[in-house]
Amino acid sequence: MLLFYIISFVFCLILGGLGHFLYELCNHNKIVAIFFAVNESTWEHIKIGLTPLFIFTIVDYFLYGQIANFWFNKMLSLFAFVLLIPILFYSYKLVTKKHFLILDVIIFVFSLFVAIFLNYYLNNISFNFNYNFIGILGILILLFMYFSFTYFPLKNFIFLDPITKCFGIEGHGH
C-alpha cells in the first residue's frame, strides 16, 4: 500500500507540474480549462493539484475502496491540500511582502505530500463510526467548486489573477 502512495505522489507532482502549462499547450481548449490552470490565481494553482488528486482518488478507490471511512479520509486529505496552498502562500507573502517562485513550488510539493500521506495515515486508523456520508458530501461540494470556479469564479483574491487583474478564464492573458 505504501508503494502505491509513493507512486501516486510522484504522479501527482508530474501531472500537477504539467498542469500549469497544459491550457496553453492545448491552444486554450475549453475542456482543458476545467482541469488545468488558465491563469496565475491561487485557485487555478489549487486546481492543478486537485486534478491529479482526483485521478489518484479514482485509482485508490478501485484498489483500497473497501477501507472503512475511505471517502471521509479522502475528503480530509483533499481539503488539507485545498487549505494548505492559500494558508502557506499568503502567510509567506504577508511576512516577506514578496513573491518567490521556489517557495511556491515547495508549498505545492509539501501540500501534495501532506494530502497523499495524510490519506495513507488515515486509512490505517480505525474510527468508531462510519463517516463516509460526510466524506462524500464534502467531496461533492469540492467537485462542484472544481468544475465551476474557472468559468464562474467568486470575486475575491483567491480567484484574482495577479497579472491581468481579472477572474477565472477571463483572467487568462491572451
What values do phi and psi take at 167, rounded to 5? Answer: -115, 150
What is the number of other CB atoms lying within 10 angstroms of the CB of residue 84?
20
CB 127 within 8 A of CB 73: no
8 Å CB contact between 147 and 86? no
Q: What percent of the chain has pLDDT over 70?
A: 99
**Domain residue spans of the chain:** 2-171
Share of the chain above pLDDT 90, in %: 88
Q: How do residues 124-153 score in pLDDT, each as one tens digit?
A: 888 888 899 999 999 999 999 999 999 999
Strand partners, 167: 160
Residue 173 confidence (pLDDT)? 60
- Full-model pTM: 0.93
Cα–Cα nearest to 140, from 76, 77, 75: 75
Rounded average pLDDT over 50-69: 94
CA-to-CA dists, residue 54 to 69, 144, 166, angstroms? 17, 13, 27
Query: Rg of the Cα trace of the chain?
Result: 16
Q: What is the pLDDT of residues 11-48, one digit of tens each?
A: 999 999 999 999 999 999 999 999 999 999 999 999 99
